[in-house]
Amino acid sequence: MARPLMPKATAVWLVENTALTFRQIADFCGLHELEVQAIADDEVAVGMQGLDPVQAGELTQEELERCEADPTAALKAAKPSLPQPKAKTKGARYTPVAKRQDRPDAIAWLLKNYPEMSDGQISKLIGTTKPTITSVRDRSHWNTTNIKPQNPVGLGLCSSNELEKAIAVARARAGTVHGPVAQPGPAAEGPAGMEPAAPPAPAWPPAETGQD
């Protein structure tokens, strides 16, 4: 059963303005019966302004009168006249304000190490927007000079499991396997024991240009 938005304030009003029993009030407000009795004895919620549940649309006058006439009856909350908000299950995650400045670094890291990951995946993974991803990619972001690629897990923007799952999905869609990043090797050398060939010396004397 739906509970009043402000249970104690509602209980205060019901104690002061109705003939309901403590149990009826306690059951409706989600409180303990002894707590309602303490409210009636001015031991709890002293000075609290009561809230009329009928005026608030949480209880009908007919239901109130029905339960006043029958001490064994239980109050039934009124059906809300306004539609209830639905829980959001999809879309970009919420990122705390303190961590939002780290998102460009995480975006740069993901673009560098996992280019097969779509902008939509990155957006949902670390709670950013596609325009921000685009600006980091084409280096038009206002703070481009200070962006340093960093792992989003280390920045606390996502968990390692979430990152691994996103990578697996991206690889499956792209049909590729992400191999290790190639490391820069030494300069090309000739046969064993030989030094690399030196660059040719410039011609000397320089060609005449027709000027003294």
**pLDDT of 172-211, one tens digit each?**
888 765 444 333 444 444 444 444 444 554 444 444 444 4
- Over the stretch 35-92, which tens digit does the pLDDT of each residue have? 999 999 988 888 888 999 998 888 999 999 999 999 999 999 887 665 555 555 555 5
Q: Are 57 and 80 in contact (CB under 8 A)?
A: yes
Burial degree of 204 (CB within 10 A; 0-12, 13-18, 19+): exposed
Task: Name 160's Cβ contacts closer than 8 Å, sequence gap at least 6.
Answer: 153
For the cut 80, the answer to whether the pLDDT of residue 116 exceeds it is yes
pTM, 2 dp? 0.41
